Structure formats: C-alpha cells, structure tokens
Structure 1
C-alpha cells in the first residue's frame, strides 16, 4: 500500500499559524543528532521516537545510532523506502517500509521525540533546487553536493504541535502495520496523545478548542535561544557553501569550454596544419549551446566597419537554424552600441524595443529569426572587434539569462578572441615561412645564376681582352673574333642586369604604364624584328603569323607588349630546332579580351612543371648544366606585365618533345571610333 499525502501538509492544515523555514540538509542532520543525543542523555524517560527516512541508504548511515536509542526506549519507530533488504520488522525497534515510488514520504524527513519532560518535532519536505541540479551535473564526481540539498519544514519544541505530528505519523504506521495497533494505542494513552483527523477537526467542538489552544501555544517561543543561534549559524554556513559550490561549478564550466576551444587549436598545431578560425568558432558555439539555455546560439566574424556579416555557425534547440544568412550591421543600432561600448547588450523584449523598431532591416531580421529576448556579446581582443556571439530566446514570453550564464558567455568570447588572434598569427606565420622559403630559393638561384651567368662571360671577356693586350702581332681576323666574343658576352651580361632591374621594378610597382589603342599585328612584327636582329637568321626556326584582319585593337602599353611577345619568341627559339616551327596566333577570347598564343614544335614541358616555369630563376635543365642560355627571368617578367594590365598567362604542353604553347590575354580597346578608322584605312 502507499499513502501519497504529505505529513507536512497535514500538520500545516491542523495548525495554520505555523510558518515553515528553509533548512539545508547539514542543518537538519545537526538538529536530528541533537534530538537523538537528548534521548540518549535521559535514560529514564523511555520516550516515543518516530523517524522517517527518504531512502534506505540514508537510514543505513544512522542504523547504529538507532540500535543505541532502542536500548533507551521500546517505542522507537523507523520508516524508510525499501531499496535492498529494508522491510517491516520488529527486532531492535519497529521498522516500516513504504513504497519508494508512490508514497509521499519519499520526499520528506521526519523526527519526532515525545517524553514526559520535553518534546521536539522536525517535519520537513525536500525542495526542488534547479541550481543544485545544475551544479551537480557540472561538478566532478569527487564533489559531495548532498549537504546543499534544501528542505522546507517545521522544527519546534512545542508540545501540542509535536503531539499532532506524532499522531499523524502513528496513524500512518498503523496503516502500514496494523499488527502494531495495540502497541501504538499504549503509547498514545501513556503520553496523552489525542486522535487527530481532518473530519474530526471540522466537525467537533472539542477539536476546535484544542486547535485554538495549539494556535496560542505556537506563538510562544518554543526553543532555546542558543539552539536558535546555532541553527542560524549552520544555515548561514551552508548558504556560503552552496555559493562556493556554485562558483566552483561555474569555473569548471568555463574551464571545460576553454579546454574544448584549446583542443581545437592543438588538433591543428599537433598535425602541423594551419589553424582554421572557422573550426574554432564551430567548437565555441557547439559547447555554448550545450552549456547555456537558449533557443538559438549563433556566432559570426565581424569588424566595426563592416556593413553586413554572415552567420558562420549556430546551434538550436527547437527553432530554425540561421547558418549562411546575413546579419545587418551598418543599419543595426544594437551592433553600433556594442562597437561603441565594447560590452554585452541585452534586449528583454524585442517587440517593444525602440532601437529595433527604428531600423527596418533589424526589425525584419528579428521577425525572421523569431527573437523575443536577445543577448549580444562582442568577441574582442585588445579593444578590436573580431566577431559576435548571440543568444536568442524565441519563446512566447521574455527570458533573462542568469548572471552566471552571461559571465560564462563573456569568458568564452574573451577566449575565442585570443584564440582567433592566435590562429591568424599562426596562419600569417605560415605565410611568412613560405615567403622566407621562396626568398631562400631565390637567394640560392641568384647565387647560382650570378655565378654562372656573370662569371662565365666575365671570364671570356677577360681572356679576350688579355689576348688583345698581350698579343700585338695577332692577325686582324683573330682580333675581330676576340672583339666580337667580348661584345657578345658583355651584351649577355647587360641583358641579365636589365632583366633583374625590370623584374624588380615590375614587382615593386615602379613602372609607369602608357596605355594606348594599338593593332596587335604591329606589335608582333616589332617583336619578330627584335628577335632577328639578335639571332643569326639561319638559326631561327620558321615563324608563322596567324592574326585575322578583323581582330580589334588592344589597349596596352606598346613597348611592354612587344617585350612580352619578344620574350615568348626568344624562349620558343631556345628550345625549338632550326627545322622546327613557331606559330603566333590571335583571336577574341571574349568581348573584353584578345588571346595570343605562341606555339612551338620544340622540346615541350612536363605537365607538372607548367606552373613553375613562370617562377623567377626557373631553369628546366638546372642553372649549372643547361645548354640553352638565359637567366630564368623572362617568363616571370611576362607574367608580371600581363597581370598588370588585367590579363592572364598560362602554358600548355603534351609533355617532353611534344612542343609547347604559351597563351596570354590582352584587353580590347574600348575606342570603337579609332578601331573603325584603323580598319577602313
């Protein structure tokens, strides 16, 4: 059987003037032990003692004390919810087992002592404590949260109140164990207990008189002042302990979230991969979504000068997600407040907020996201705004986030800010390392190029000049050969130095461009003439030009376009035999660009090297063992020139000995009148 009613409720109904108090479990434990010690100290009393435990496990902690109490009295009754071996029994004292799932006693804690010269009564019901549930879920297993449990009830030494409480409990005991009715009747007669029932309380004059007497007695001071002060001290100490537990739990939650974000950093750094700020944001919003109550938790990157931001990550309990959607910033007075004050902004009710209603874009976003209460926390680092964390409450009523939750969000925002800066610094460091590696390769190539391209012609020039100086009788024909060789090598050195200077000026932006509308075929002819003046005619492969007459004018700097074509032709001539062929083709790439192709039937390029051929100092054969001349700067110069006028340059080849094709684009002139004059002429 089970009885679902509350003993405390029945007691308060019988004596309405009683006022309950809130007790922590540690206080109740101290009071219970004091009441039991009073029984142990007065052996001749043979008092009535009734104790009710919520669970058998709690009873087992006190079982030895009750064996000692049973030696002082034969009227000891213990009630508990059976878990393992607790049952109805009459051994050292009477034990009464009640249903742990259905009986109202499972929420209550009772201890009533009635003797001839004193009485004490403790009747309490456990309170639901959301904070305790939160802390117990967050704290490590090693922490004992049991002392923080709270109870509401009565502790008094008033005899009449104690008698009523004892009578209510004895009725329950008799209901559970009818065989004890004779023993219960004896103790009731011995202590003069009266039978109390709600029906009798409402129907008999004598009962009403008794209750009136109890009401007048309950107004009297019913406990020793020292005991009252002791209980007050215990309560205050327990309150401080609960606050300390709460602080520890909050700190543990912060550390756990920070550790999760830090773990994301370590996953990147341990593998040697660049850190990803988006991964950090994802971890932060997921952890916050689990730790803090909110209908929706979102996070996004934003700077103070941005007009809009895109929500990168969010989590939601029961409302639609907003990932990928745009948040207005420029016309967002809340965001501007965050930027100016650099602290969190809380909107209790978005429906009545004037800042939201004054911004059409912001009001539309609030309506779309169904936000009722809104918390906006900036992600800052040294006063610089890096992003924003938002908590949305989308319920029918407003919601105020607890201070601990707000402090937690702000702590995570601070950590995310530092982490983002660290991730960006790591990424920048990777870029700098790559640049340093490129500079180191450039330095090595420069040394190799300088050693080969400068030392070799200098040695030749020196030998030629020394021969001319020391051999006055040298035949004129041989002297001419010496002079021609020295002049050729000096030209080679001049070209190397000129290429160095040209590339340096192009990369530093030191070139002044003189754009004009020109026919492409004219530039091609000038480039071919330049090549033929530098090279013996019989050494050149056949050059074929395939440029349509209807090709539009191009808008370029003519000298630099000739330089690009000449260098591409020079490159093709180096790797194409004299019996090969070079083709220059041009056609409209689209309405804005003309595509020019310089194709050859030479040695070709391996597919994996099609990109690196445009790097500075690249030499396919190697700087110290190549058979073709050059500095390895020509294609790098071409790329810089083409990129400066908004074009593109790329290479294609089927592989070794399959020939190669170099393509680049130049912008079409927008001067249609000038084009028509050139065409008609």
Structure 2
C-alpha cells in the first residue's frame, strides 16, 4: 500500500494560517533532539509520533526511543524498511510503510503531553545534486526541508490525528490503542499552558557549539591540507624546473621554515653510518639566532639522530632542559647529555627531526628548531606535514641520482664511441702501413729473382720488422682484453724490485732499434723490502713505462728509475724522464685506451696508445695505484706506481735481494 498524500499538505489544509519555513537538516536534528529532551525531562505519559524517511536514519536514534518508551506506552515510530525494520509491538510500536509512500520524503515528530505540546512536520525539497555534492557528508549537510515547527497545541493535535490515521492504515490491529490515545490525550486542554523553552534553547545552543567546533576543526584541517599542498607543490615545481638537489633543497628549506614558523630549519644529506654532516641549507626566522651554515653537525654522537636512523621515523623533543634531559616522543625519553654543548650553542629548546628515506635507505634529514624559552609541542599535523615534504625530497634525491647515473652512462657511451673511432683509426694506420710495406717487399722479392743479396737482405729485414710491429699491436689488444675481462691468473710471490728492473732494461735494449737510447739511471737501494707481485706482469709494466719514457725523450736526455717505501705497507716506484712532458689537464686521460697525445694519425712516435692502459690494469690488479705528474710541455714527466710489500722480515728481504743479484 502506498499513500501519495503529504502529511504537510494535509496539515496546511486544516491550518491554513500556517506558513511553511525552510530548514536545513542540521536544524531539524537540533529541534528534534530538543523536543525529545523535553519528554525525557518531564513527567506524565505523553504521545510521541516520529516518522523517519529510512530505517538507517531511525537506527541512529533508536537508543533515545528506548528511553522514551520507558516513560510512556504511546510511542509510534514509522520508517521505510531497508533490512529488518517491520511492524512490531515491543517496547514501542514500529510501523513499516511502503518506500514509495509520500512519508519517505518527509520528517515528522509530534510530542503532546499534559502541560506541553510541539510538532515538527517537514517535507524534503529534492533537487539534482551538483558536481560538488558527490561526497555523502557534504550532501547530508546541504539537505533542505520545508515545513512547520510550532508549540501550538491545536496544530499539534491536527498533526497527531493525521499521523495516527496514517498508522491505522498500515496497522489496523492498533485501532483500539489509537482510539484510546485520541480519547485520553487529544482532548480539550486548559487554554493557557506553560511551555518551558529552556530544553529547546539549551539543545540549540549545544548544537550550535558542536557545529562551531566541527567547523573550526574542518577549517584547521583545510588550512593544514592547504599548507601541505602548497609546500609539496612548491617542491614539485622546483623538481620540475631543475634536477639539481641544491636548487630543490634551497626552495624546500625556505618554504618549510616559513610555513612551520620555526626559528630554524635545516636540511642536509647523510647516511646512517656518517659521523657528521656539513650544514649547507638553512632557514632562519630571526637573524639574531646563531647560524649553522658550514658547520659540522654531529651525527654519530647524537642520540636523537641515532633514534631516527634506527626507527626510520620522525622523533620530536618538546623541551630540551638545561641538564640535557629531553621530553621526547620516544619511550623511554632520550638523554641528550652527550650533545649538551650543541643544544646550548644552537639555542635549541624544541627539536623535530624527520628522516628523508627512499626504499628503506636514509638519504638525508630535515630538522626544525624552536629557540624560545617556552617549550613548543609538535602536533601530529605538523609532523605529518614535514614528513610529506621529506617524502618529496626523497623522490627528488632519487631523481637527481638517476639523472647523474644517466649522465655517467652517456659519458661512458661517448667514451666507447671515441674508443671505437680511435680503434678504427689506429688499427687502420698501424695495420695498413706495415701490411703495405710487407706486400711491397714480398712482391719485389718474387718479381726480381736476380736481386742483389744485399738488397734482398734489406727487403727481408724490413718485412720482418713490420711483421713484428703488427704482432705487438695484436698482442697489446689481446693483453688488454684479458686484463679487462678478468681472465688473467695471477701468481703473486715476494719479489726483489731490482731483479724486475734489470729484466725490463734487458728487454728494452733487446727490442730497441738502431736509434740511441737516452741515458738510463737506476736508484733502487739493495735494502728495499720485497714486494708481493706477479713477476712476469711487473716486468711488463716496467718495460712499457721505460719504453714510453725513452720514446718521448731525446737521446741526449735522461731517464731515472727510483724506488722507496711509501706509508709502511707500500713500495713506490718512479720512472722520470726529461722528455716532452704532459699538459696538466691530460695527466688522467693518458691512461685511457688508445690515447695519443699527437692524435692517432699525426704522431712522430710509434705505438698503439694501449701501453699505459695496460699498465693501469696490471697495477690495480696487483693492489697498487698508478699516476702521472708533469710541469707541462717540454718539462719532463714522472710516472709513479705503488705495490704492496711482502710480509717478510728485513733479513729475509735482504737475503732474497742478494741471491737475485748473484
């Protein structure tokens, strides 16, 4: 059964003098609670009729009607069923009306007692929801109703009669009880009734205060969210404009310090294993506060930092006491006595430290300092805001590192491209030239059988020399490839350096052409300790460095070989010459593969440009270091490398060296 007639329309027909007013849902809630409180505060057995649009609305108020039902048997509750609401006669009468009934669009409450009466009869004004009303809470607060709320007893009688008739149509078995209600309660009453408005006033004031509190809370939440979004947006904008963490940190420390209204804000990069960090990015609200820029900020001895690094969550100090004991968010509170001088020097009274973390790795730290005498309490909203900023900084650092890695990869690709070009140029020159010479010599020998013996010998010598040149090039390629791929088996043993120098000099003089060598001097003391190395590869390094020194030094120049202990655990070897020298900006690149000072095709000295690269790979594999020094063009050069010492006594070392020279 569905009834299309509105209770409000029926009431207006009986009381044409009434003028409906507009109410919001929150106002009707306050008025309804005030009317219910009037019943709970009064004596007697009044008539209560409440109509809810849906069962779920009734469920929110059911506990109140249990209390009212304990005072009077004349309680009727109407609602459109959604789950288990149905017609029942228990603590009070429940009436389940058809959801299509006009009652589903209305809000009714009628209260009639011996000395008071009030009625609230309203109908919801339906309208299409706007795009902004998508949230259920927002739509609930903006629901509007039109209707009547009055203390007029005659109007309340009419409303009660209309609703009781509607109840009777759904539950005819209640005819006797409804008739008794009409006979006992809906009777002419004294013309003057005293209505106490105090419960209504109190309820409305309480509702207004609660609404004001909710409004203020909502404003604070909106303001906090706006600050968070503004800060995050500013950092995001800085990240989009630049991948440089310096620019991003400068923006973040300034914006965060201003937004949080702190005395000092600092941001720095760090790892959980660092002992200290240098402060570079700082915001100061008052220039009278001591600046921490360019100072070393202690980390290892800072209990607060250690707590943050271990927990990977923010930690706050509400008050740093003069004794160094702090009220903190940790349990138990931290003892800051170890950094008492830092607290005093930086005037820190309240401290918030938030880690910058990405993928479980500590990347940096955000710190906020309050320096006033009164302690500052760090709210959950403040900590959440700073944590959001720290999260964005973690993303910025990761992006910056990724960009730096990408730049490194690009540089490596460029180096590979240069290597490829050099390889083509060098192999083309170094292979084509000797091949052409060999071909000419062999063709001459084949086509001239009567060639004089002396000329034939010259042809053969030239062909053999160029074949050896090609062999060396191929050998250098293979050697470097084995070293770089890690396919070398190292045989480390204690060695006397003098033996290796003698073998390298012998190899140099054997391979040397008719061109005279510069004067070579050695200054290798016999009492030097033994080195731990692979003899074959160490001789290879010495031979290549000596060959390189002689190649770029005139025959009237000098080459000097020196050695001396370096740092107690290493032996340093130096091969110095008085030759062409190296420009200071090229002291590192001379060890690159295929590096040629004069260019691949414009050089007066032979070679593939692989010798120094091979030397570097060997020395690094033996556990040492290699580097070059020079004062510039035509001022000579010095090549240094270190080797680890063998763990032997001085007597054993000296005996080994003596046996090697005998």
| Band of TM-score, shorter chain | 0.5 to 0.7
What is the DSSP-based 3-state SS (H/G/I as helix, E as strand, rest coil) of the residue aligned with 2:476?
A: helix
Match of 1:338 among 296, 311, 331: 311
Q: 1:472 to 1:242 in 2, by over 3 A?
A: farther
Q: How many residues align?
A: 449
Equivalent residue number for residue 593 of structure 2? 616
Please report how far the alpha carbon of residue 240 of structure 1 lies from its aligned counterpart in structure 2 after TM superposition. Answer: 7.2
Q: Is the 8 A contact 2:595 2:609 kept in 1?
A: yes
What is the DSSP-based 3-state SS (H/G/I as helix, E as strand, rest coil) of the residue aligned with 1:577?
A: coil
Equivalent residue number for residue 297 of structure 2? 325
Q: 1:614 to 1:337 in 2, by over 3 A?
A: closer
Q: Is the 8 A contact 1:306 1:329 kept in 2?
A: no
Equivalent residue number for residue 126 of structure 2? none
Equivalent residue number for residue 232 of structure 2? 258
Equivalent residue number for residue 460 of structure 1? 437
Please report how far the alpha carbon of residue 630 of structure 1 lies from its aligned counterpart in structure 2 after TM superposition. Answer: 0.3
Q: Is the 8 A contact 1:379 1:386 kept in 2?
A: yes
Q: 1:336 to 1:544 in 2, by over 3 A?
A: closer
Q: 1:533 to 1:285 in 2, by over 3 A?
A: same
Q: Could you tell me the TM-score, scaled by structure 2's length?
A: 0.57
What is the DSSP-based 3-state SS (H/G/I as helix, E as strand, rest coil) of the residue aligned with 2:417?
A: helix
Equivalent residue number for residue 511 of structure 1? 488
Please report how far the alpha carbon of residue 405 of structure 1 lies from its aligned counterpart in structure 2 after TM superposition. Answer: 2.2
Match of 1:284 among 252, 256, 276: 252
What is the DSSP-based 3-state SS (H/G/I as helix, E as strand, rest coil) of the residue aligned with 1:555?
A: strand
> Residues 8-27 of structure 1 correspond to what in structure 2 (within 5 A)?
none
What is the DSSP-based 3-state SS (H/G/I as helix, E as strand, rest coil) of the residue aligned with 2:296?
A: coil
Q: Distance in 2 between matches of 1:436 and 1:649?
A: 24
Please report how far the alpha carbon of residue 469 of structure 1 lies from its aligned counterpart in structure 2 after TM superposition. Answer: 4.8
Q: Does 1:640 align with 2:617?
A: yes
Q: Is the 8 A contact 1:329 1:336 kept in 2?
A: no
Equivalent residue number for residue 572 of structure 1? 549
Deviations 1:349-375, CA, capped at 9 Å, x for gaps: 775669565877x66458964877664
Q: 1:351 to 1:547 in 2, by over 3 A?
A: closer
Please report how far the alpha carbon of residue 602 of structure 1 lies from its aligned counterpart in structure 2 after TM superposition. Answer: 3.4
Equivalent residue number for residue 467 of structure 2? 490
Q: Distance in 2 between matches of 1:434 and 1:550?
A: 46
Match of 1:542 among 514, 519, 529: 519
Equivalent residue number for residue 36 of structure 1? none
Q: Distance in 1 between matches of 2:503 and 2:658?
A: 22
Q: 1:242 to 1:535 in 2, by over 3 A?
A: same
Q: Is the 8 A contact 1:308 1:330 kept in 2?
A: no
Please report how far the alpha carbon of residue 324 of structure 1 lies from its aligned counterpart in structure 2 after TM superposition. Answer: 2.4
Q: Distance in 2 between matches of 1:486 and 1:388?
A: 70
Match of 2:580 among 581, 600, 603: 603
> Residues 229-240 of structure 1 correspond to what in structure 2 (within 5 A)?
none
What is the DSSP-based 3-state SS (H/G/I as helix, E as strand, rest coil) of the residue aligned with 1:325?
A: strand
Please report how far the alpha carbon of residue 316 of structure 1 lies from its aligned counterpart in structure 2 after TM superposition. Answer: 6.3
Q: Does 1:677 align with 2:651?
A: no
> Residues 136-175 of structure 1 correspond to what in structure 2 (within 5 A)?
none
What is the DSSP-based 3-state SS (H/G/I as helix, E as strand, rest coil) of the residue aligned with 2:628?
A: strand
Match of 1:430 among 373, 393, 407: 407
Q: Distance in 1 between matches of 2:545 and 2:461?
A: 26
Q: Is the 8 A contact 2:327 2:333 kept in 1?
A: no
Deviations 1:67-102, CA, capped at 9 Å, x for gaps: xxxxxxxxxxxxxxxxxxxxxxxxxxxxxxxxxxxx
RMSD: 4.3
Q: Is the 8 A contact 1:468 1:474 kept in 2?
A: yes
Q: Distance in 2 between matches of 1:355 and 1:598?
A: 61
> Residues 335-374 of structure 1 correspond to what in structure 2 (within 5 A)?
335=308, 338-339=311-312, 344=314, 351=326, 357=332, 364-365=338-339, 369=343
Equivalent residue number for residue 71 of structure 1? none
Q: Is the 8 A contact 1:329 1:335 kept in 2?
A: no
Q: Distance in 2 between matches of 1:295 and 1:579?
A: 72
Q: Distance in 2 between matches of 1:382 and 1:523?
A: 51
> Residues 86-97 of structure 1 correspond to what in structure 2 (within 5 A)?
none
Q: Is the 8 A contact 2:528 2:654 kept in 1?
A: no
Please report how far the alpha carbon of residue 613 of structure 1 lies from its aligned counterpart in structure 2 after TM superposition. Answer: 2.5
Match of 2:532 among 549, 555, 561: 555
Please report how far the alpha carbon of residue 637 of structure 1 lies from its aligned counterpart in structure 2 after TM superposition. Answer: 2.0
Q: Is the 8 A contact 1:254 1:408 kept in 2?
A: yes
Match of 2:503 among 526, 538, 563: 526
Q: Which moved more, 1:607-616 or 1:626-635?
A: 607-616
Equivalent residue number for residue 418 of structure 1? 395
Q: Distance in 2 between matches of 1:508 and 1:626?
A: 30
Q: 1:567 to 1:399 in 2, by over 3 A?
A: same
Equivalent residue number for residue 406 of structure 1? 383
Please report how far the alpha carbon of residue 334 of structure 1 lies from its aligned counterpart in structure 2 after TM superposition. Answer: 3.8
Q: Does 1:440 align with 2:417?
A: yes
Deviations 1:229-267, CA, capped at 9 Å, x for gaps: 7x9999888877766654554344334433543465467
What is the DSSP-based 3-state SS (H/G/I as helix, E as strand, rest coil) of the residue aligned with 1:380?
A: strand
Q: Distance in 1 between matches of 2:640 and 2:332?
A: 57
Please report how far the alpha carbon of residue 291 of structure 1 lies from its aligned counterpart in structure 2 after TM superposition. Answer: 1.6
Q: Distance in 2 between matches of 1:487 and 1:460?
A: 10
Q: Is the 8 A contact 1:649 1:665 kept in 2?
A: no
Please report how far the alpha carbon of residue 665 of structure 1 lies from its aligned counterpart in structure 2 after TM superposition. Answer: 3.6
Q: Could you tell me the TM-score, scaled by structure 1's length?
A: 0.56
Q: Distance in 1 between matches of 2:328 and 2:495?
A: 63
Gapped regions of structure 1 (runs ≥ 5): 1-218, 270-274
Q: Distance in 2 between matches of 1:352 and 1:251?
A: 28
Q: Is the 8 A contact 1:517 1:556 kept in 2?
A: yes
Please report how far the alpha carbon of residue 421 of structure 1 lies from its aligned counterpart in structure 2 after TM superposition. Answer: 0.9
Q: Distance in 1 between matches of 2:363 and 2:247?
A: 15
Q: Distance in 1 between matches of 2:440 and 2:531?
A: 48
